[in-house]
Structure 1
């Protein structure tokens, strides 16, 4: 056991110092060049090396089995480029906040969010791994909304502190998924705060719901919270513009309260529409359909 723990600790340290060294070297570059380099490195080096490229192609084949192979390969490249840019933005939090402050928010959901905050009513804003969710979170905070966000503890405990520091720079409060952050999250909602979360993480204890033509295990917890605390439930997206640098932030119409499954499926459909319109901006690296689809 001691040897196994030592091996894990060594691996975690190596991973941490490798990532920190890479980010330090890249940090010397101006943000735009850094972003372009990360896009190139992820699409041309990292994704093929660690298997992301194959995962993306397999998922594209699942959703669009008739897609021309040349088109699929071009789309795979753009997807991994977007992942690289998003990682660069996540670990360049001050640049991200600066971009967010220059980005306008639109959509019917904005008025609903303003009304909820004015009435001290809880709100839950839901997005996916699409474009850059943190751009929209940072912009909402800049506009004075009391936005707290869920985050997942990193597997590498040494890297986790560095990761948490970066996402905290974008905005706080932050609530760790699971028991550690549950009490703080509920207190935040009860106090009329806004909770930001993602709907497209595979939930092993979730229920199978359709997403892009296939069943995907999906957590209904956000809809359950909205019903329990009478929170307005609003889909939102930070969509990357064609130039690869700017964003458009859109808050959609609130999801009507009904039952958790119906509300969660409405969130799935909202994200699905975005993915089908701009597939290069979604995180196809996820095993989104694992465990729910009979084709697995």
Structure 2
């Protein structure tokens, strides 16, 4: 009988597994994909600028650092890749988790799966799917050295990628449909100083046969048209979650996300959730937020299962 099972080996899941090892919990970590790291694997070369302790760090390096930290405890908290959770049932006084690897019995469960698998939101412009130089992720930034690039989007991913690509590109133009950005203000200001930002514009067409040579954009307010030259076009509109069976698992949801209390417990007693799959008042979707939530959840699980280990202060 396990003390807890952590579902999802992204940043929050890896850190939760590290903490489970530190708390000496009998636990395991399962991941439906063939590799750990979660959605960070989609942009390993993108720089992350809001991670505590780093002025900047690539997503790939961050994944590896979190895994290296966890690996010290891997013997006591094993990682099972290519293992998908199918159903969760409560039997007697414990949970039975059915997976593609088999059945696990556990006292508690910690969901750190980011809400399931995600797919990038596609550019909805005619013929976008036939253009060979439209990208939704970046595998190697050196491929775009000395090129003129366009990045679409207004969140952290779009701005951070703009800054990262600007280190090798001839020119980077960031285009957003609003004047206000969801990304960190500091990053937006930095992008303004090293690149070009056009707002509020939306893409409406292309010039080019099978490659985008110019992106045609329209001003949202005055509807003026402009053509912007590019060698490659990057679309970072965020991700859409694939269908998931969270509702079938009996959680109370809000906007498709799992409602949790301040100790990260869901509406199913003994099941906790952290990261981008959860919602609560003031929730901010950041990697660092998910890591803090993982610490809260594992500490709560430890105190719940082993209250005698929780030492109080003597007055």
Regarding TM over 0.5, the answer is: no
TM-score (norm 2): 0.25
Structure with a larger share of its residues in helix: 1
TM-score by length of 1: 0.27
Q: Determine which structure has the larger strand proportion and give its number.
A: 2
Query: Relative contact order (C-alpha < 8 Å, sep 6+): which is higher?
Result: 1
